[in-house]
Amino acid sequence: MITHLQSAKDDERSDTLLVFLPGAYLKPDEFEREGFISAVRERHLAADSLLVDADVSYYYDQTLSERLHADVIEPQRAKGYKSIWLVGISIGGFGALIHELARPGSVDGIVALAPYLGRRVLGAEILKAGGLRTWQAPAGPLPDEEVDRKLWPWFQQYLEPQKSQRLPELYLGFGLSDRFASNHKLLADALPEGRVFTTEGGHDWPQWRQLWRNVLDVLPLPSLGRSRSPATRTPAAAPRMTSSAKPWAIAA
C-alpha cells in the first residue's frame, strides 16, 4: 500500500498516528483537500496523519486486512507510534472495522464516518429482531465472504461493559439521509454516550467534513505541548447529537 505521512510538527514525530482510509474510488489526498488534515492542525493535536491508498481492489480480493496490517500498522508500530487510530469513510470505515475483526487489539481507536456495514437485508433482519440488543447471531462457522455476519456479532460486544473494555474506542458519524443510515442507526444504539454524531444530509464530503470536525473535538488525542483531557476539549462549532437526542432511535 502506498502511504503519505503528514506530521503534526515538521521537526519531530508524534506518539499518535491517525491512519486515513478513503471511500470507494476516492483518492487518499482528498482527505487533505477536504480539510481533514488541517482540522487536526487547527486543534494543535499531537497526532501525525498517514494517508493510505487502500483502493477497492483490496476489498474485492479480500486482502485489505492482511495488507493494512503488514504494510501500515506493523511498520508504523515499529517506528515508535504508541497509539494508532483508523479513520475511514464509507468502505474505508468498513475496512477499519473488518481489520480490527481480523486483527483484534492492533489499533487503539476507530472513527467510522458513513461506513458501509454490510447488506441491507441483514440490517433488516436485525431491525426485525428489535435491534442488536435482542438479535441472535447465527451459530456455527460462517462463510468468509459473509464478513458482515461476523461484524454484527462483534458490534454486540460494545453492549457488554466487560467485553467493551477490550475493544478499541469506536466513534460513528453519519448523515441522517445517508443511503446506509438504516444500518448506521442499528450500530448507533450499541455505542456509549458521546460516541455517535449525526448531521443533516447524505453520503458526501460536506457531511463527512462536518462529522470529522465534530468527532475530532472530543477524540482523546494529545495536544502539542500538553496532554488533552476531556475537561479541556472544545465544543464543536456545529450541533452534534449523542444519546440525549437520538434521531436514529429504533422504533419499537
Class of domain 3-232: alpha beta
The SS3 of residue 89 is: strand
- Give the dihedral of Cα atoms 184, 51, 169, 250; nearest 10 deg: -10
Residue 143's pLDDT is 59
Residue 201's pLDDT is 97
Q: Is 130 left (phi over 0), alpha (psi -120 to 50) or beta?
A: left
Residue 251's pLDDT is 41
Indicate the domain borders of the chain. Answer: 3-232
Q: Tell me which amino acid residue 235 is.
A: P
Separation CA 78–CA 106 (nearest Å)? 13
Separation CA 95–CA 207 (nearest Å)? 20
Residue 157's pLDDT is 95
Residue 7's pLDDT is 87
Question: Which residues of the chain, if any, have pLDDT below 70?
Answer: 140-145, 226-252
pLDDT in tens, 28-86: 999 999 999 999 999 999 999 999 999 899 998 889 999 999 999 999 999 999 999 99
Residue in the structure block whose three cell numbers are 481533514: 36
Give just the sign of the alpha carbon dihedral 81, 147, 112, 116.
positive
User: Could you tell me the pTM of the whole model?
Assistant: 0.88
Q: What does the DSSP assignment read for 161-187? A: HHHHTTSPEEEEEEETT-TTHHHHHHH
DSSP state of 231: G
User: Which residues have a Cβ under 8 Å from the Cβ of 8 and sit 6 or more positions away?
Assistant: 14, 40, 41, 45, 46, 47, 48, 49, 224
